[in-house]
């Protein structure tokens, strides 16, 4: 076993594009042919890093950050093309997916359509698979651990109860009465088996994709949200690890205080961790969660890293996050326990928002690279005296923007956002300063911003694919604080064909981010 490469330890360039945003006729990006083609395009552009959002089953609001499990893969990401090639579903059955190759994912129409075909494929597999297939499945189940059974039972029960959250199930199921669980496992045996097989297929398709990335010299960056969804297998199975009453109702919920995005803050609604219980277990749940993540990816981004120092707790009955307060978190103990069990991890800390000296001290103590986002860093141009926006340490990941930002083109041309704390005068002055700094009238602002990131001292420079293409606000992935309509943007085939990969390749070479000619670019294996 070789040591993992330290994140942001050499000059590389990356693209942020979630799997769901890949093009193709299936209504949603998936792990099949379009993902493999995408890897080859990255290589052609001299790109060595592909960053995705969480790949777990999206929950409320279709958000990958509101997943129903921190361990399972999202079945919607399974490639029906691959399953058809293996004979588990007919090619004619997978034609005509809702949304097709459109520029948006229609989750409401797509989810039942695709799940119907996945269930049919599972039925075919159970009837016709060879003995070696069943043996491989059995070996995978033995290796995967308890989370597979927990997730399968949770989703089977959720479906049996019409999609209702677990706290609305019958009392004995809510409190996980052993006799009630045993009866459910008998009654829902086929449904449970379906979900386990879907996870087996996800693992297999993911392994193929990761092997293709390694052959191409592409390193995969995953994303671990700090919080988990209340309606998740994690909370249902480990309710003692969260601040909840006996009925499963949260006492407090998570959010962030008023900031750049919103004058009233963001009320996320996730349950808050009961840290004394985590400490008493030696942080076992967190250790297994991070062990699972680093087994899936070459590197992982820890979302909301400031939560490892303190969290913004909001009374459960509050209507905005402004009513919250900071509560300390034993982050140093947690990260220390993780490091002792798993070694030094390939982690990038998302240190955005209200970052205090204590948060930065925690990050530096564990030698984790942080992030710099140009859309925020351009504020430095209004300082007295002005500062260079991309001035940062080499052990940094610099972005033009993230999934939570407007696109670079959209940000440059947008008016002040509704609910934003930014005044119209400041907004105008900042855009004028940015235009002067970039030397642009706005037509190529996205390219100039990518070039600023690529030329920066930061060893890693990453741009969302929307910024590479110069797409406007219509291509934005997420608007924080808005509950519906997010996470839907997709590349179209003609967008991908129009991408200027030669420009990216030249940019990487000019700023020393391209893999050395003739070098073995295969990332180190865990």
Least confident of 3-17, 243-257, 328-342, 501-515: 3-17
Q: Residue 417's pLDDT is what?
A: 65
Q: Where are the domains of the chain?
A: 238-368, 369-418+440-484
User: Is residue 38 scored above 90 in pLDDT?
Assistant: yes
- Over range 357-364, report the average pLDDT: 97
* CA distances (Å), origin 474, targets 104, 261, 399, 408, 428: 10, 18, 20, 12, 22
CA distance linking residue 32 with residue 79, whole number of Å: 5
Q: Which two tokens stand for residue 447?
A: 């390219």
Q: Residue 525's pLDDT is what?
A: 29
User: Is residue 524 scored above 50 in pLDDT?
Assistant: no
- Over range 278-299, report the average pLDDT: 97
User: Is residue 519 scored above 70 in pLDDT?
Assistant: no
Query: Does the active-site annotation cover 303?
Result: yes
Sign of CA dihedral 21, 434, 505, 9: negative
| pLDDT band, very low/low/confident/very high, at 72 (cuts 50, 70, 90) | very high
User: Which pTM value belongs to this model?
Assistant: 0.95
Out of 395, 404, 406, 451, the active site residue is: 404
Which stretches within 284-398 are classed as H helix?
284-296, 331-342, 357-365, 374-377
Residue 213 phi/psi, 5° resolution? -65, -40
Q: Residue 77's pLDDT is what?
A: 98
User: Is residue 356 scored above 50 in pLDDT?
Assistant: yes
Cβ atoms < 10 Å from Cβ of 138: 11
Beta bridge partners of 315: 252
DSSP 133: H
CA distance linking residue 28 with residue 36, whole number of Å: 15
- Over range 345-364, report the average pLDDT: 94
CA distance linking residue 65 with residue 51, whole number of Å: 15
Is residue 397 within a helix (H) or strand (E), and if so which, with residue range? Answer: strand 396-399
Q: Which two tokens stand for residue 31?
A: 């792990």
Q: Residue 418's pLDDT is what?
A: 58
End-to-end CA distance of the chain: 6
Q: Are strands 310-315 and 370-373 parallel, antiparallel or unpaired?
A: unpaired
Q: Is residue 51 within 8 Å of 462, Cβ to Cβ?
A: yes
Query: Does the active-site annotation cover 500?
Result: no
Q: Residue 468's pLDDT is what?
A: 97
Q: What is the pLDDT of residues 217-226, one digit of tens each?
A: 999 999 999 9
Q: Residue 499's pLDDT is what?
A: 87
| pLDDT band, very low/low/confident/very high, at 523 (cuts 50, 70, 90) | very low
In percent, the amount of the chain with pLDDT more than 90 equals 86
Q: Give the contacts of 176 (CB within 8 A, at least 6 positions apart).
A: 236, 237
CA distance linking residue 104 with residue 27, whole number of Å: 8
- Over range 323-349, report the average pLDDT: 95
329 φ/ψ sector (left φ>0, alpha ψ -120 to 50, else beta): beta
Q: Is residue 271 within 8 Å of 254, Cβ to Cβ?
A: yes
User: Is residue 420 scored above 70 in pLDDT?
Assistant: no
Q: Is residue 459 within 8 Å of 12, Cβ to Cβ?
A: yes
Using alpha carbons, select from 351, 346, 372 the residue that is nearest to residue 456.
Answer: 372
Q: What is the pLDDT of residues 84-126, one digit of tens each?
A: 999 999 999 999 999 998 899 999 999 999 999 999 999 999 9
Q: Which two tokens stand for residue 429?
A: 């002055």
Out of 82, 303, 390, 467, the active site residue is: 303
Out of 350, 390, 406, 451, the active site residue is: 350
DSSP 162: T
Query: Does the active-site annotation cover 259?
Result: no
Cβ atoms < 10 Å from Cβ of 133: 13
Average pLDDT value over all residues in the chain: 93
- Over range 18-36, report the average pLDDT: 97
Q: Is residue 15 within 8 Å of 42, Cβ to Cβ?
A: yes
CA distance linking residue 176 with residue 196, whole number of Å: 20
Q: What is the pLDDT of residues 462-473, one digit of tens each?
A: 999 999 999 999
Beta bridge partners of 482: none
């Amino acid at each position: 076993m070789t040591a993992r490469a330290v994140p942001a330890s050499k000059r590389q360039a990356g693209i942020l594009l979630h799997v769901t945003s890949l093009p193709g006729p299936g209504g949603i990006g998936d792990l099949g042919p379009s993902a493999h083609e995408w890897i080859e395009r990255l290589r052609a552009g001299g790109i060595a890093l592909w960053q995705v959002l969480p790949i777990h089953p999206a929950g409320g609001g279709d958000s990958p950050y509101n997943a129903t499990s921190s361990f399972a893969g999202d079945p919607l990401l399974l490639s029906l093309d691959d399953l058809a090639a293996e004979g588990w579903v007919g090619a004619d059955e997978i034609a005509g997916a809702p949304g097709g190759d459109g520029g948006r994912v229609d989750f409401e129409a797509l989810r039942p359509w695709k799940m119907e075909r996945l269930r049919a494929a599972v039925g075919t597999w159970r009837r016709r698979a060879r003995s070696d297939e069943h043996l491989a499945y059995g070996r995978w189940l033995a290796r995967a651990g308890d989370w597979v059974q927990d997730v399968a039972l949770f989703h089977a029960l959720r479906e049996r109860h019409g999609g209702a959250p677990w706290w609305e199930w019958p009392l004995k199921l809510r409190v996980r009465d052993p006799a009630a669980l045993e009866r459910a496992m008998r009654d829902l045996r086929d449904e449970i088996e379906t979900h386990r097989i879907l996870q087996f297929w996800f693992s297999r398709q993911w392994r193929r994709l990761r092997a293709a990335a390694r052959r191409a010299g592409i390193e995969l960056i995953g994303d671990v949200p700090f919080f988990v969804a209340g309606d998740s297998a994690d909370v249902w199975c480990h309710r003692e690890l969260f601040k909840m009453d006996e009925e499963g109702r949260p006492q407090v919920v998570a959010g962030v205080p008023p900031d750049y995005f919103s004058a009233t803050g963001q009320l996320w609604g996730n349950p808050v961790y009961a840290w004394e219980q985590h400490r008493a277990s030696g942080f076992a749940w967190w250790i297994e969660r991070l062990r699972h993540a680093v087994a899936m990816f070459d590197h992982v981004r820890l979302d909301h890293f400031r939560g490892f120092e303190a969290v913004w707790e909001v009374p459960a009955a509050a209507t905005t996050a402004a009513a919250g307060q900071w509560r300390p978190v034993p982050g140093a103990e947690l990260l220390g326990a993780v490091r002792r069990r798993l070694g030094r991890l390939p982690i990038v800390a998302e240190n955005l928002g209200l970052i205090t000296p204590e948060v930065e001290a925690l990050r530096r103590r564990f030698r984790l690279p942080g992030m710099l986002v140009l859309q925020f860093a351009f504020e430095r141009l209004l300082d007295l005296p002005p500062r260079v926006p991309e001035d940062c340490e080499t052990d940094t990941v610099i972005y033009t923007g993230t999934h939570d930002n407007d696109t670079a083109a959209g940000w440059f041309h947008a008016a002040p956002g509704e609910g934003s704390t930014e005044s119209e005068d400041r907004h105008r002055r900042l855009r004028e300063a940015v235009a002067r700094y970039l030397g642009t009238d706005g037509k190529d602002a996205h390219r100039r911003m990518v070039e600023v990131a690529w030329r920066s001292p930061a060893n890693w420079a990453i741009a969302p694919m929307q910024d590479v293409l110069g797409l406007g606000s219509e291509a934005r992935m997420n608007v924080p604080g808005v509950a519906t309509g997010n996470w839907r943007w997709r590349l179209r085939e003609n967008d991908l064909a129009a991408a200027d990969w030669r420009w990216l390749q030249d940019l990487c070479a000019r700023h020393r981010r391209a893999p050395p000619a003739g070098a073995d670019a295969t990332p180190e294996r865990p």
